[in-house]
């Protein structure tokens, strides 16, 4: 995930650079997009050479940016200078940023008009909540896209919302972003039995088949036998039908036996379900 900060009166402010540091620690790709001139342009515009040294009157160049980036651990190629120009052009061509934080209303307006990147004003007292909100949503989709758990490994989920799932014996079935999944033939009637099992919930984001891109599923299913709950995505039938995936025998046996409890959402919970996915590795 990529985000971007303006420098002057944004990233150079306490609170903002601390937040940038947190993001970096969390693995977010942090960039700086500033309307300043590049070093070369500064030299060309304002530089005079005095005693063999570059002297730049009233304009200190960009050393303060470089210092800050070094302190934060942001690589130098993560700075973009728009040279007094509007930032919307840059974000129009680089739309893979989740948001850009800035204090200049004109720049924010320009970004909103020209690009799909969300501009956030640092002058808004809730700027950090807005940033986090977008990251949370993006993160969820990111995880769903790259979601992969080996069969029969624990399915780590935030179980609070899913009454039936509140036990440590939830095992993953068919969370297949890895192409090296087991292949083979399932017994006759298996897919038909699988079709009857209702889903537990619908995710807000959806999961596209990573192998053909032609199928989408947004729900998860769970079946419980004894202490074990097997948790699988709604794409499972697609994986079996179209990609010849063979689930583990113990799962096949449970489905074929018909002797299981379908996991249901916690009926006590109201409102939108918050999903927090913790990756296993």
176: contact with Zn ion by CB under 5 A = no
Which is closer to Zn ion, CB of 203 or CB of 224?
203
Q: Which stretch binds Zn ion (CB under 5 A): 103-111, 116-124, 177-185, 213-221?
A: 213-221
One symbol per residue from 216 to 255: x for binding Zn ion (CB under 5 A), - otherwise; what is it?
--------------------------x-------------
The answer to whether 21 and 50 are in contact (CB under 8 A) is no
| Helices and strands per DSSP (H, E), number in the chain | 9, 12
Q: Could you tell me where the beta strands, DSSP code E, fall in the chain?
A: 2-5, 29-34, 48-50, 53-55, 79-81, 97-102, 118-121, 170-172, 201-208, 216-225, 228-233, 261-262
Q: For 243, list phi and psi in degrees, rounded to 5.
A: -120, 10
Q: Does 212 bind Zn ion (CB under 5 A)?
A: yes
Interface positions, 182-211, toward Zn ion (CB under 5 A): 209, 211
What's the closest the beta carbon of residue 176 comes to Zn ion, in angstroms? 10
Scanning residues 68 to 87, which ones bind Zn ion (CB under 5 A)?
none
Quote the CA–CA distance of 163 and 173 in Å, as a whole number: 19
C-alpha separations of 23 from 40, 72, 176, 198 in Å? 30, 10, 29, 38
Query: Least distance in Å: CB of 243 to Zn ion?
Result: 6
The site for Zn ion, by CB under 5 A, has a size of: 5
Give CA–CA dist 158/42, Å, rounded: 52
Q: How far is the CB of 202 from Zn ion (least distance, A)?
A: 20
Is residue 122 a contact point for Zn ion (CB under 5 A)?
no
3-state helix, strand, coil in the chain (%, to 5): 35, 25, 40
Shortest distance in whole angstroms from residue 213 CB to Zn ion: 7
* Distance of closest approach, residue 166 Cβ to Zn ion, in angstroms: 32
Q: Which residues bind Zn ion (CB under 5 A)?
A: 209, 211-212, 215, 242
């Amino acid at each position: 995930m990529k985000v971007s900060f303006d420098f002057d009166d944004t990233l150079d402010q306490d609170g903002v650079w601390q937040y940038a540091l947190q993001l970096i620690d969390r693995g977010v790709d942090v960039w700086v997009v500033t309307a300043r001139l590049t070093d070369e342009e500064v030299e060309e515009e304002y530089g005079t050479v005095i005693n063999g040294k570059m002297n730049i009157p009233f304009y200190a160049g960009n050393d303060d940016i470089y210092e800050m980036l070094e302190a934060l651990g942001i690589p130098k190629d993560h700075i973009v200078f728009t040279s007094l120009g509007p930032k919307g052009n840059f974000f129009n061509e680089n739309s893979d940023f989740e948001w850009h934080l800035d204090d200049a209303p004109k720049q924010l307006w320009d970004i909103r008009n020209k690009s799909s990147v969300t501009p956030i004003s640092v002058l808004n007292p809730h700027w950090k909540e807005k940033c986090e909100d977008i990251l949370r949503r993006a993160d969820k989709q990111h995880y769903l896209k790259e979601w992969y758990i080996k069969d029969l490994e624990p399915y780590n989920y935030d179980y609070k919302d899913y009454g039936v799932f509140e036990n440590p014996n939830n095992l993953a079935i068919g969370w297949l972003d890895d192409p090296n999944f087991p292949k083979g033939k399932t017994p006759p009637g298996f897919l038909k039995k699988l079709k009857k099992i209702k889903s537990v919930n619908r995710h807000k984001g959806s999961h596209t088949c990573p192998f053909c891109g032609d199928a989408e599923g947004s729900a998860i299913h769970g079946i419980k036998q004894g202490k074990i709950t097997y948790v699988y995505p709604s794409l499972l039938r697609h994986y079996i039908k179209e990609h010849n995936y063979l689930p583990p025998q113990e799962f096949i046996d449970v489905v074929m036996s018909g002797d299981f409890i379908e996991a249901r959402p916690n009926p006590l919970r109201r409102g939108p379900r918050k999903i927090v996915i913790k990756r296993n590795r």
